[in-house]
Amino acid sequence: MMDYDLIVVGAGAGGAPVAARASEDPRIRVLLIESGPDYPNVEALPEDLRNVNHGSFFDHDWKLRYQPSATSRTSLFARGRVTGGSSAVNTAIALRGYPADYDEWAGRGLPSWSWEKVLPYFIRLETDLDRDDPWHGKSGPVPIRRHPRDELVPFQAAFLDACAELGYPATDDHNAPDSQGAGPHPMNKRGTLRISTAIAYLAPARDRPNLTILPDTDVARVIVENGVATGVEVRARDGRTQTITARQVVLSCGAIHTPAVLVRSGIGPKSVLEKLGVAETKILEGVGRNLMDHPAIAPTVIPKAGVADWDQPVIQTTMYYTTPGGDFNDMQLEPLSFMHIKTDAPILMGLAACVFKSYSRGELRFESADVDARPQLYMNYFSDERDLVKIKDGIRRAMEILSTRAIAAVSDGIARPTANELDDADHIDAWIRRNSGTGAHPACTAMMGAADDPMAVCDDHARVRGITNLRIADASLMPVVPRVNTNIPTIMIGERVSDWVKQDLA
């Protein structure tokens, strides 16, 4: 007799939907394990998890660091350590991606992930409060809305006016399959309350007797016996360890920590397991490799007096456009109402140029198999020259937008880069490589792929290759990062995988 039918490791954007959906069947006994704390209701949430106007960078964080490129310094890499995961600490951008993103997945030998196959899950997860189009949902757990014009803060409104001034098209729905241009972000929030998966999925499920949430508990490894996952070994905050058994295990620890759990379980590249002294369970060379993200850099803007303050929403609008000869909607220009964490320093606004159809791939590096060890993140931005070409085009267009009449009405000029810096090709390339940062969308580090793909960790149904009863449901599963913020696509993955899990356990 197993302790549970299903163990889900990680209560974030992917794991919370898997656990909640599986527990809809009262016959399935579900254990959801979370390394961070759990808050049972909205009233118990600390301010950093409630207030969506600011991302939470410290109080519920893993304290990770990353190196964007070989010439850049290491920096903090924020990831949520709490029920809800990074969906509980982010800026609540609710973008889906485009049909081409998922059809590209299908073209890699993954027919279950075509746009036609994933659209019903995007519809199922949302209640769109603004739109009645057939590609939107009206009864899902995640509410999605867009700021109307009268709610936009001055810099965000000026950005839309500047885009119109330069002739860019307008859109009122960035989640429409063929959308392009400038418009309000779809966002999963109510007022200033961030609607994480802890609120959207776990809150309605907490009273189910077949769902147990176990917070403040680290998973050391998956127990695999004769090629079959039979449970997990966990360590509580008081240091006690125990083994918990289940008929099926789903890893949803995110693109950084899912590979770490796999490696500690003896599943990963041969060289890594040998280096760490971990006994081989299954050699899968793609674990921790193929790391993708959306590199970004933001020209900074000096606001006029009274235009900016720390209580404004940091993000409300964005623009997608296609670079010359590039991929459809491969770039995003996103105005930031303030550029950094709240300090006593003067506020600077920014206009981030983000490569959203990126090609460069980095890797995670593992220095220890200890459960407290953290992978090192080497992003390798601009190792593919196409990404550098795109971001340079983005900076040029951002500077054009910042020079419009609309922006001049709310700003006292551009702080960086200067015109001289832009005119020096060698300098601007070095400046980009040194100063670009993360879009906070790590993915693809345990990617699914066709049977003949040597980097494929999982198959078309998210099953870890060579290990029975072990699945992955988070952004590490993605074969290619879609050209959007990854929160909503990861929730979709959780929804998709939950159906397969329920079929297995029924």
Largest CA distance in the chain: 71
What residues contact residue 403 under an 8 Å CB cut-off, 6+ apart? Answer: 414
What residues contact residue 418 under an 8 Å CB cut-off, 6+ apart? Answer: none
Say how many residues make up the chain.
506
Helix (H) and strand (E) counts for the chain?
Answer: 14, 26
Q: Which of 412, 506, 491, 500 is nearest to 123 (CA)?
A: 491
**Tokens for 308?**
């900016």
Cis geometry, peptide bond prior to residue 184 (ω within 30 degrees of 0): no
Name the pairing type of β-strands 331-336 and 349-355: antiparallel
- Residue in 60, 294, 441, 461 annotated catalytic: 441
**Tokens for 295?**
């590199």
What residues contact residue 79 under an 8 Å CB cut-off, 6+ apart? Answer: 61, 62, 64, 85, 86, 89, 254, 256, 257
**What separation in angstroms does the CA of 56 have from each of 53, 80, 185?**
10, 8, 20
* Inter-axis angle of helices 115-125 and 487-505, nearest 10: 100
Q: What is the residue type of 79?
A: R
Hey, CA dihedral for 413, 416, 417, 418, is it positive or negative? positive
Q: What is the dihedral of CA 46, 52, 57, 61, to 10 degrees?
A: 60
DSSP one-letter string for 79-131: -B-STTGGGGTS--B-----HHHHHHHHHTT-GGGSHHHHHHHHHHHEEESS-
Strand order in the sheet with 75-77: 75-77, 64-67, 376-378, 362-365, 289-291
Q: How far apart are CA 438 and CA 65, in angstroms?
A: 11
Q: What is the dihedral of CA 41, 47, 50, 53, to 10 degrees?
A: 180
What stretch of H or E contains 500? helix 487-505
441 is known as an active-site residue: yes
State how far Cα 422 lies from the chain centre. 31
What residues contact residue 260 under an 8 Å CB cut-off, 6+ apart? Answer: 253, 288, 364, 366, 373, 374, 375
Catalytic site residues? 441
